[in-house]
Chains A and B, each alone.
Chain A
Amino acid sequence: MEALNALLSGLGQFMSPMGLFHVAWATLLGILVGSLPGLTATMGVALLTTLTYTLDRDSAILVLICMYVGAIYGGSRSAILLNIPGTPASAATSLDGFPLAQRGQAGYAMALATAGSAMGTLVGILLLVLLAPALAAIALDFGSFEFFWLAVFGIVISGQLTGGVSPLKGYMAGLLGLMVAMVGSEGIHAHVRFNLGFDQLNGGIGLIPAMVGAFGFAEVLTVMWRRKAELSTEELKEDRVLPRLSDLWRYKITIGRSGVIGTLVGIIPGVGEDIGAWASYAAAKRSSKEKDQFGKGSYEGLTAAETGNSAVVPGALIPALTLAVPGSAPAAVLIAALFIHGVRPGPMIMFEQPTFIYSIAAMLILATIAIAIYGLSLTRLFILVLRIPRELLMPVVFTLCVIGPYALTQRVFDIWVMVAFGLIGFVLRQMNYPMAPLVLGIILGDLLDKSLRRGLTLSNGSLEPFFTRPISLAFVVIIALSIVLSMPVTRRAVGKVIGTKRGPTEQPEGRKP
């Protein structure tokens, strides 16, 4: 009851004209950003963070949450119409969305995507409200030993799940991020490390310039490198743009299951919306009565993918708020934004700001209502937006990439950092290194460094508590199992066992490259 009161109070707080105005423009901007191939949710949140410095705390966070929810939803537009996911989160959406569009059902596909996204976010919000306070309470038992393993866990799991066929590259991206975090003044003795003679590096490498570079500039380069995508007008026939309630009712179990899977994937550090969508899609296909329709324009497949990726958003905020460990790349930027605006995420959040989690839930609800309204009423506008030529859009994006990080510290050095990360990010992407573990490494580097050295100081140099305390031991077992299971030899062995049990005809689900 207390939680419900806090939630209603949060909703009331943002129902002012100015609050609703922020919801309206930020969600619309988010949908536009997400719908344009090349502009991702992370980039949108990172760039918008630089525009929220002068807003008050709650308005700034409201705007960023609306951008995040809108962008993840908006990715479905180009996935359905162009067969190019607007964001990586919508890759699974294109499998069934585009065939529907080819059959002249683009409008209905977008309506289903809207309903799926809205319901996925609502399931995620429910779990956020239920799980976040409990997780914060558990996290109060965390000491340096547990936080060290939490950081290692985040890097290992994120690297493994985002590395695709090569988890090793995921681990290496995470290690690279941790190494970047070693630059600058360390957190215990304030000793400056690896500044290479540049005084500007004494404070370390800024997260915002690094992320704007890795997700913004690298994305601009990738878009200009790719061949142009053409929007087929033949696919835009008039058809129904409101979802049928009978369809939604028929897929109620798929919606509920995808919402829970998406939220749980969101809770895992640094994994993100694309994995949430693929996992939900795979689960829906496995249990569907119309398996053969998946990939050919299945309503159920489309609904599962969109519900799954949208549910990751509230899920990713659970560890971000309670442990200060992001569940996804956009959530990593949100953590940076929270610090900028004076909110300290972590286990103490339920003591320092007990209603804050409910305020976040209220913001998510408003953003969900906004995507439902926009999604069902502005279908034609979003189709027009997809026609903006990349040669006009990309230089504007890069101009914002330059001025955004500069605006935070007013240092030209941060522009250089952004450019360096953009070029490195482009090359790493081309080589199939995932960006999410790299970003997570930059965020978790300080936590890992301080926790290990503090823990060793507390135990007088002994490693024993790192392996004997119950929560630490649980982390160690999970990490060891994850690494062992990601080894090619083990995967082959497990594959043989599972293959024998399933029979020769059933293929395990794979992730789209």
Chain B
Amino acid sequence: MRFDTPAADRITAATLFALGAAMSWGGFVMDRLEIRQIHPASIPGLVPMILGAAMMLCAVLLALSTRGQTAPDASGVQGNWTDFGFAAAWSCVFALLLVGTLPFAAAAALYIFVFAGWFSWQPAEPQARNAKRMIFVAVFAVAVAVGVAALFRYGFLVRLP
């Protein structure tokens, strides 16, 4: 999967055109604060209207620039989407669900252990070696989580989530 293709640019152009249109419209219908008798040239919606229009123009130019372009060769892709998917999903679970639900140190230790464990586990290697590696990862996760939590809690006096 690649994002730097003409098709992706056309989708982005459509999305950003819609965003620009929404911002322009939002600026146009925004309260003009007549009740406060402000100068008409200083209405709060002025700059959003201009920015929205500029974004729409750029989106049209982007869509036009993709005409006649061909998609790059997919064999040159360097990334691993499985690794990315796990890293993104688990990081979001940690930031959006675990933090605030569990004490920060526990949430961080769990996050680091699962993240590092997932990528460290080697199915082709003997179980004993993997088990040793998991013990190391667990100790590492707990040490880092406790260290970071203590630094912010006691060093910087932050009330942790």
* A in complex with B: yes
Fill in one digit per residue for A393-422: 1 if any B CB lies within 8 Å of its CB, else 0. Answer: 011101110110011001010011011000
Cross-chain contact B41 with A418 (CB below 8 angstroms): no
Q: Which residues on A sit within 8 Å (CB–CB) of B62?
A: 168-169, 172
Band of interface residues on B: 35 or more
Fill in one digit per residue for B25-63: 1 if any A CB lies within 8 Å of its CB, else 0. Answer: 010001101001011111111111011101100110110
Q: How many residues of A contact B (CB 8 A)?
A: 62
The answer to whether B73 has its CB under 8 Å from any CB of chain A is: no
Q: How far is the CA of A217 from the CA of B90 in the complex (A)?
A: 12
Cross-chain contact A399 with B145 (CB below 8 angstroms): yes
Fill in one digit per residue for B84-128: 1 if any A CB lies within 8 Å of its CB, else 0. Answer: 101110011011100110001000100110011011100000000
Cross-chain contact B19 with A453 (CB below 8 angstroms): no
Q: Which of A222-230, A285-293, A302-310, A503-511 contacts B (4 or more CB under 8 A)?
A: A222-230
Q: In the complex, how many angstroms separate the beta carbon of A447 from the nearest chain B beta carbon?
A: 11
Q: How far is the CA of A405 from the CA of B41 in the complex (A)?
A: 36
List CB contacts (< 8 Å) of A435-483 with chain B. Answer: 448-449, 452-454, 456-457, 460-461
Q: Which residues on B sit within 8 Å (CB–CB) of A416?
A: 95-96
The answer to whether B78 has its CB under 8 Å from any CB of chain A is: yes
The answer to whether A141 has its CB under 8 Å from any CB of chain B is: no
Q: In the complex, how many angstroms separate the beta carbon of A337 from the nearest chain B beta carbon?
A: 15
A52 (CB) vs chain B CBs: closest residue: B156
Cross-chain contact A407 with B144 (CB below 8 angstroms): no
The one of B78, B95, B148 that contacts A226, using a Cβ cutoff of 8 Å: B78
Total inter-chain residue pairs, C-beta < 8 Å:
182
Q: In the complex, how many angstroms separate the beta carbon of B50 from the nearest chain A beta carbon?
A: 8
Known A225-B79, A406-B161: A456·B148 in contact at CB below 8 Å = no
Q: In the complex, how many angstroms separate the beta carbon of B89 from the nearest chain A beta carbon?
A: 11
Cross-chain contact B159 with A410 (CB below 8 angstroms): yes
The one of B51, B80, B86, B104 that contacts A175, using a Cβ cutoff of 8 Å: B51
The one of B31, B78, B92 that contacts A191, using a Cβ cutoff of 8 Å: B31
Cross-chain contact A392 with B9 (CB below 8 angstroms): no
Q: How far is the CA of A220 from the CA of B92 in the complex (A)?
A: 12
Q: Which residues on B sit within 8 Å (CB–CB) of A402?
A: 94-95, 99, 108
11 additional A-B residue pairs with CB within 8 Å, beyond A431-B9, A452-B47: A54-B155, A171-B58, A175-B54, A189-B42, A225-B80, A394-B115, A398-B94, A403-B148, A412-B99, A426-B88, A431-B3
Give me the interface of B with A, judged by CB distance under 8 Å: 2-4, 8-9, 12, 16, 19, 23, 26, 30-31, 33, 36, 38-48, 50-52, 54-55, 58-59, 61-62, 65, 78-81, 83-84, 86-88, 91-92, 94-96, 99-100, 104, 108, 111-112, 115-116, 118-120, 137, 140-141, 144-145, 148, 151-152, 155-161
Give me the interface of A with B, judged by CB distance under 8 Å: 51, 53-54, 166, 168-169, 171-172, 175-176, 178-179, 182, 186, 188-189, 191, 193-194, 217, 220-221, 224-227, 389-392, 394-396, 398-400, 402-403, 406-407, 410, 412, 415-416, 418-419, 423, 426-427, 430-432, 448-449, 452-454, 456-457, 460-461, 488
What are 16 A-B residue pairs whose CB atoms fall within 8 Å in the complex?
A172-B55, A175-B55, A189-B38, A225-B87, A226-B80, A227-B78, A391-B118, A396-B148, A402-B108, A403-B148, A403-B158, A410-B159, A416-B96, A419-B96, A431-B4, A461-B40
Closest 5 CB pairs of A and B: A391-B119, A456-B41, A430-B3, A224-B87, A395-B115
